[in-house]
């Protein structure tokens, strides 16, 4: 495979995800560009982007020497690619046939930085939401709320302890995009437990599916028929051998746009 930017031979380099997974990208050691098969660009962690940059022979100031950028797989002309997750100032090129993406070293760094910022913002918005709904509680209920505060505080403490216990039991959760409507969720637990997942586009529309119906430490589930380009909220419940149920905090993933 040849570099779409400078025609140098691309070399296969192994990239490690934060969850212990790995895949190969095709990297140009001369201009620093990288070719990603579909979805791979979403999975590469930022520290691996830095590692790729170090492999490059001439990391700086290398001008693009080719006038037309062709897909290294299909040799089709690559097109500028923009979506909600790729702002106009970030120049990614995409093959309309195989959907692979070519990113220069600069674009890749900008894209990953932007992606991390967006994910942090999405998480922040969802933390704020339950607090906002409290503002709209009609005044009549305030007296009632006053009486139930004591119970609520106790429940909240219980819920918090429950979440801490869940966080202790569960390892890092990986979400792998298989298509624009399918993801696989994989995680391990410190003890053998049963597990289930509740997920949906909002906290009020969560549906629950069993992940592991028998006690195990290795859990994985494929979620299908998702809406493309949509933020999903999920939480995972674990049931231990004493039938105690622990539920994680809400987390989120965004399905791919196609």
Residues that bind Zn ion (CB under 5 A): 3, 5-6, 8, 28, 30-31, 33, 71, 73-74, 95, 97-98
**What is the C-alpha R_g of the chain?**
23
Tokens at 59, concatenated: 């990391």
Which residue from 112, 58, 121, 53 is spatially nearest to 87, judged by alpha carbons?
Answer: 112
Residues listed for the chain: 258
Minimum distance from residue 52 beta carbon to Zn ion (Å): 12
**Chain-centre distance for alpha carbon 198:** 17
| Residue 96, CB-side half-sphere exposure with 13 Å CA sphere | 6
Measured from the CB of residue 180, what is the shortest distance to Zn ion in angstroms?
Answer: 18
For Zn ion, which is the closer residue by CB, 53 or 206? 53
Handedness of CA 226, 229, 231, 236 (dihedral sign): positive
**98 vs 206, which CB is nearer to Zn ion?**
98
Name the CA dihedral angle for 75, 77, 83, 89, rounded to a multiple of 10 degrees.
120
Sign of CA dihedral 227, 233, 238, 243: negative
Closest approach of Cβ 22 to Zn ion, in Å?
23
**Least distance from C-beta 74 to Zn ion, angstroms?**
3
Minimum CB distance to Zn ion smaller for 3 or for 44? 3
The Cα–Cα gap between 39 and 257 comes to: 10
Between 13 and 122, name the residue whose CB sits nearer to Zn ion: 13
CB atoms within 10 A of CB 42: 18
Q: Which is nearer to Zn ion, 50 or 74 (CB)?
A: 74
CB-CB contact of 170 with 162 (8 Å): no
Nearer to Zn ion, 90 or 95 (CB): 95
């Amino acid at each position: 495979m040849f570099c779409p930017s400078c025609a140098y031979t691309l070399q296969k380099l192994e990239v490690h995800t934060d969850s212990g997974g790995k895949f190969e990208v095709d990297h140009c050691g001369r201009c620093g560009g990288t070719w990603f098969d579909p979805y791979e660009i979403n999975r590469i962690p930022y520290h691996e982007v830095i590692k790729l940059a170090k492999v490059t022979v001439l990391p700086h100031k290398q001008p693009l020497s080719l006038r037309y950028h062709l897909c290294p797989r299909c040799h089709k002309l690559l097109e500028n690619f923009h979506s909600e997750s790729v702002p106009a100032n970030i120049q990614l090129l995409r093959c309309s046939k195989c959907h692979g993406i070519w990113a220069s070293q600069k674009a890749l760094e900008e894209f990953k930085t932007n992606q991390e910022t967006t994910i942090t913002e999405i998480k922040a918005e969802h933390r704020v939401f339950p607090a906002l709904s409290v503002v709209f509680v009609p005044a009549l209920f305030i007296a009632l709320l006053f009486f139930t505060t004591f119970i609520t505080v106790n429940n909240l403490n219980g819920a918090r302890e429950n979440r801490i216990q869940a966080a202790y039991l569960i390892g890092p959760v990986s979400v792998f995009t298989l298509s624009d409507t399918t993801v696989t969720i994989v995680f391990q637990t410190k003890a053998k437990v049963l597990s289930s997942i509740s997920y949906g586009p909002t906290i009020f529309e969560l549906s629950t599916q069993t992940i592991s119906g028998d006690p195990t430490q290795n859990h994985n589930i494929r979620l299908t028929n998702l809406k493309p380009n949509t933020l999903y909220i999920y939480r995972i419940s674990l049931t231990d051998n004493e039938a105690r149920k622990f539920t994680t905090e809400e987390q989120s993933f965004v399905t791919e746009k196609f």
